[in-house]
Amino acid sequence: MGKMEDRIDGRNANQLRPLACSRNLLHRAHGSARWSQGNTIVLAAVYGPKAGTKKGENPEKASFEVIWKPKTGQIGKQEREYEMILKRTLQSICLLNVHPNTTTSIIVQVVGDDGSLLPCAINASCAALVDAGIPMKNLAVAISCGLMEEGSIILDLTKSEEEKLKAFAYLVFPNSPLTVIPKVPLSKEQPIEQGIITSVTRGAMPVSGYFDCMNRGVAACAAISEFLRRSLQKQSSDDTSRAA
Amino acid sequence: MVGMMIDGAGEEADELVTPGEFLGEATQLVAGKGAYVSGRSILASLTGRRTITPPTPGSSDNRSTIEVVGHKAHGAVPQPGSIVIARVTKVMARNASVDIMCVDSKAVKEKFSGIIRQQDVRATEIDKVDMYQSFRPGDIVRALVLSLGDARAYYLSTAKNELGVVSAQSISGGTMVPISWTEMQCPLTGQIEQRKVAKVD
């Protein structure tokens, strides 16, 4: 277990940086969200569904395109990889049969990068898709887990931690199952999607270390999932009261 | 069980839901807008308030419909069976190209293209249709979405009495009035032009 002094910013191993999420910021976009984890800030905008799919995409299903905008400079190999990962992640959580032969564009603008950039972008994109009213199977929540030299695991890495660590993983999980029906508990048979959506690892990580990251990540994602759900519900209730 | 669930849902009808939340059993409820069926469960696909609508009297299915409403909707997307309002952009010998402006009663946020083929203009004598005497560029037409068509456009049809040109401008610039199912007249010059006119209720 990482001690308090193990981390530069004074957090303990399981502690996440302060989370903030705001939606409906851009007027021209069909949906937008700003997600921040400490000094890592990402703005995501959703445009669509637009008519037609690109060459190579299945026209019988909805398709997605992700455009990554770095804070400064040109888009590189790393950003191209992030685009691909983000696209596949979002396609796996959206209902693709609802609007066949359409394309939804997600523009990801990096505002600040202090580590855990891809998880932050995934969380922002997910909130933006909700804001745009795109039908989704479930929400996706992402977290970064790092494996230290002595084998302990830390969550929500900063940039300096990512550079120093032996290995780290970006993990994406579906939001924790929840029922809105009172007095009806979720039975074990209900096929609410569990497991992992996306996993990206860097460095050499033993299998036991990876599974430790998974377990710690699930617990952290439950907290992020609850924050995201509260944030979405709060802003939805604000929207409906404003409309009334 | 059904009664309890519906009563419970009625109590909590104002509760906000987010995608992936369990709304009920598919054996007891029908998934409406903003909900989808996964296995035997109905889950939310949008963020909003859930509502339960009782079944219509006399319907064969006595299950209530559960929906997620009050969410921010994305732009309307044409689907087979939708009635659309479109503007004619180009007329050719075998088809007419249109830009879809409204789907059912909702305006589209993005540009969707459509094609009205010669055989889909009217229900009778489809081989004798003259596209130039049915539509002109700039006409506003009401049409039915037949299918997704190719990658470029949706296939539309005006082969019903209530479908066809609803608004058109004459060469002199006046908005023409329908005088029969195949003719429209300019109120300024009295000139008659051929169109596939939609029957207005």
The enclosing domain of B136 has a CATH number of 2.40.50.140
Nearest to B49 by CA among A95, A232, A134, A128: A232
Domain segments of chain A: what residues? 4-177+196-243
Is the same domain home to B144 and B60? Answer: no
* Residue B49 is assigned to a structural domain of this protein: yes
Q: Is the pLDDT of residue A1 over 50?
A: no
**Which of B69, B92, B124 represents a domain boundary (last residue)?**
B69
Most A CBs within 10 Å: which of B36, B77, B156, as the mutation test of the A interface? B77
Is the same domain home to B65 and B146? Answer: no
CB contact under 8 Å between A191 and B152, yes or no, is: no
Is the same domain home to B105 and B189? Answer: yes
Q: Is the pLDDT of residue A244 over 90?
A: no
Q: How far is CA A170 from CA A115, A126, B3, B26, in A?
A: 11, 16, 44, 35
CA atoms within 13 A on the CB side of A142: 28
Q: Is A180 on the interface with B (CB under 8 A)?
A: yes
* Residue B37 is assigned to a structural domain of this protein: yes
CA distance A160 to chain B (A): 35
Is the same domain home to B111 and B188? Answer: yes
Is the same domain home to B40 and B105? Answer: no
Which pLDDT does position A204 carry in this prediction? 85
Distance CA A74, CA B64 (A): 54
* Residue B77 is assigned to a structural domain of this protein: no
Is the same domain home to B58 and B98? Answer: no
Lowest mean pLDDT among A20-29, A131-140, B86-95, B104-113: B104-113
Q: φ, ψ for residue A132 (rounded to 5)?
A: -80, -10
CA distance B2 to chain A (A): 11
Is the same domain home to B109 and B26? Answer: no
DSSP A209-235: HHHHHHHHHHHHHHHHHHHHHHHHHHH
Distance of CA A160 to the CA centre of its chain: 21
Residues of A numbered 54-83 whose beta carbons fall under 8 angstroms of chain B's beta carbons: which are they? 59-60
CB contact under 8 Å between A131 and B72, yes or no, is: yes
**Number of domains comprising chain B:** 2
Percent of chain A whose predicted confidence (pLDDT) is above 70: 83
* Residue B33 is assigned to a structural domain of this protein: yes
Is the same domain home to B174 and B90? Answer: yes
User: Who among B5, B18, B45 is closest to A95 (CB)?
Assistant: B45
Q: Is the pLDDT of residue B102 over 80?
A: yes
Average pLDDT, chain A: 80
In this structure, which amino acid lies at residue B30?
Answer: V
pLDDT digits (tens, 9 = 90+) for A31-44: 999 899 888 999 99
Would you state the structure tokens that stand for residue B161, as one six-digit string?
């009495």
Domain at A4-177+196-243: CATH architecture: 2-Layer Sandwich (3.30)
pLDDT digits (tens, 9 = 90+) for B126-142: 777 888 788 989 989 98
User: Who among B45, B50, B111 is closest to A135 (CB)?
Assistant: B45
- How many interchain CB pairs under 8 A, A with B? 141
CA atoms within 13 A on the CB side of B96: 34
Is the same domain home to B186 and B136? Answer: yes
Per the structure, the complete domain to which residue B91 belongs is given by 83-194
